[in-house]
Chain A
Amino acid sequence: MGNLARRTEGGTRLVPAKNATLQELLKEREIDKDEVVYEVTDTGTKEMKLNDMLQPGKTYGVVPHDDRG
């Protein structure tokens, strides 16, 4: 883990180290299969699909599991 991307801000940020699809990140267990990844743009958020490429230098958000207790 950590070769393709690292997580920041309590797991809600994904910082890619290289170009990789969401599928590849999933395969490498950089993200959980239930988590939702989105790109943060100037105009809002755009949900990433499995075949979408994540690129270094762009900002990606992650909606993690919402744990309460």
Chain B
Amino acid sequence: MMTGDKAGCGGRVRPLPPWEVPRIAAPTVLTASIPGFMDWDFKDAETIRYGLAGISNSASRSELLLREVIRPGPNDLARPPSGGSITVKPRFVHGVYARAVELGLPVVVSLHTHSCGAFFSGTDQTSTRRHAAVARDFGLHYAQVVVAKSGVAASFLRDGSERPIDLVKVIKPRGIELLWTVNGTCERGEQVDRTVHDRSLQIGGGIEEALRLFGTLRVGFVGAGGVGAAAISTLKFLNVKRFVIVDPDALEVSNANRYIGYRAGDIGTPKVEVQKRELLAYDPTCDIELVREQFPSPASVEALKACDVIVSTPDNHWCRAQVAEFAARYLKPVFDAGAGVYVNEAGEPYRISSTTHIQLPPPLGPCLKCQGVRADHPPHVEAAVEAARKSYIKGYRHSGPTPASVATLVTHAGNQLARHMLYYLSGVGGSEARVPLHFVNEEITLKAEDLSGLWSRQSECPVCGEQAQWGFGDAATRLLESPVKAALETETHEEAVCTG
């Protein structure tokens, strides 16, 4: 634990530089998507707030997921805050713990500012010991964050031992900010190879920071079909180096007209294996984890929990609905794309298009469900979709009537997804610029539509609504699939998309 000998911050402290601490591979991360969570006013007086968080545990990462922030008012302080100290009344602190128990969130987080540096003072360490005892009584865990202009220090008390929080990840309306803590012990983010990315860096703006982010973030892919393969192909050029790829399928001959990475003799090879082969051929240092199962299988959920963002390109909306709830529960942005043939009741294609969606973690934006993605298809539409799929294949084999442009359709969808992901992460256009939540490209007319304005977060939504278990992580009490499926099955849906 890092401490420092700083005058004026109360208590005696012991210096221990972070470079003396052994580095470990598995980081502990505090993730937050609540607007203003890390906006602080560093005046002379210290300020304090508390958070309630869920936990996500996986083999390679522990993550605290901030669900709620509670700020004490002036009457909750024992005395007006002075330059070096602040004291919160027990009644308020008790209320924070009671609220955590009431909601079923397992972690109480205390956050406060230091005007003189990011470290844990003697007073803070005493407070931590007290919180540890109270948290144990309430059956909760405790974490503390000290924020200064110069940086952030954070630790997590769990099962009687204190470990550093390595990274505070702030998910914003535009972009993700990574705040590596001064006491963290894990390896930090990737640098950008300026030779490889020379042409991109010439663009300027936020591109370098975006490439650095891409190189640091672990990206999970649900679906490695035609669109997913195109997205993977583009994102590797954008410096993504850590991949988790989930897909149950193997290549068929009908994939050959659009599947990036397809080689003669690949029929029957799992799509995830093909993507791994192609990625390693491009960059042998890539970190790649494969799950050849249908999401949300337990193995796929476990692997994706360690990811920072989800790229969603499954071939059905039911799976998309699961991605939406999973991502909300674990506070992960979703970049979703699909390409397909819209059919009417007679089974006739009337539109060929690709669609991208962005789901930011609640409360930042509407989930995929609130953006109109629904999982249920009436039987007549299912049959029509099957018919369309057959013509899809026919189009490849015989250059038949529909759809002749499958290759451009799916690769465009994958590229558009990567483009929107870059737009979100780079902050190009400014922090106030609108993220293209819902974007549609019509393949025949080449018409592009931004439909983002149609959607808003619904307060009753089971995925991102007020009572939904977003941010709960492993503490969520519902099964991943059943409630969403049940909720979605009650709705009607007139269209279907068969994705590439």
Contacts and interface: CB of A to CB of B under 8 A. Distances in A.
B88 to A, nearest CB: 4
Contacts of A67: 85-87, 123, 126-127
B78 interface: yes
Contact of B88 (A9, A32, A47, A65): A65
A64 B93 CA distance: 8
Contact of B134 (A34, A63, A68, A69): A63
B123 to A, nearest CB: 4
A40 interface: yes
Interface in A1-43: 9-13, 32, 34-36, 38, 40
Interface string A39-62: 010001101000000000000011
Contact of B84 (A9, A63, A69): A69
Given A9-B133, A10-B126, A34-B78, A66 B88 contact: yes
Given A34-B78, A36-B94, A66 B133 contact: no
B138 A45 contact: yes
A55 to B, nearest CB: 17
A69 B87 CA distance: 9
B11 A69 contact: yes
Nearest to A41: B137
Nearest to B128: A10
A68 B137 contact: no
B124 interface: yes
Contacts of B134: 12, 61, 63
Contact of A66 (B90, B121, B138): B90
B90 A44 contact: no
Interface in B458-482: none
Contacts of A9: 129, 133
Interface in B1-45: 9-11
A66 B87 contact: yes
Contact of A63 (B9, B48, B94): B94
Contacts of B166: none
Interface size class of B (residues with CB under 8 A): 20 to 34
A45 B137 contact: yes
B491 to A, nearest CB: 39
Contact of B130 (A12, A32, A36, A40): A12
A62 B85 CA distance: 22
Nearest to B84: A69
A68 B91 contact: no
Contacts of A68: 46, 48, 85-88, 110, 112, 123-124, 127
B133 A35 contact: no
Interface in B365-401: none
B97 interface: yes
Contact of A44 (B91, B123, B124, B139): B139
B46 A69 contact: yes
Contacts of A64: 90, 130
Of listed A10, A11, A13, residue having the most chain B CB within 10 A:
A10
A50 B110 CA distance: 28
A22 to B, nearest CB: 13
A69 B9 contact: yes
Contact of A69 (B110, B123, B130): B123
B288 interface: no
Given A44-B139, A69-B85, A69-B86, 12 more contacts: A10-B126, A10-B130, A36-B90, A38-B94, A45-B138, A61-B133, A63-B94, A63-B97, A64-B130, A67-B85, A68-B48, A68-B127
26 contacts: A10-B129, A12-B130, A12-B134, A13-B133, A34-B78, A44-B139, A45-B101, A45-B138, A47-B94, A61-B134, A62-B90, A63-B93, A64-B90, A65-B89, A66-B93, A66-B130, A67-B85, A67-B86, A67-B87, A67-B123, A68-B88, A68-B112, A68-B123, A69-B46, A69-B86, A69-B123
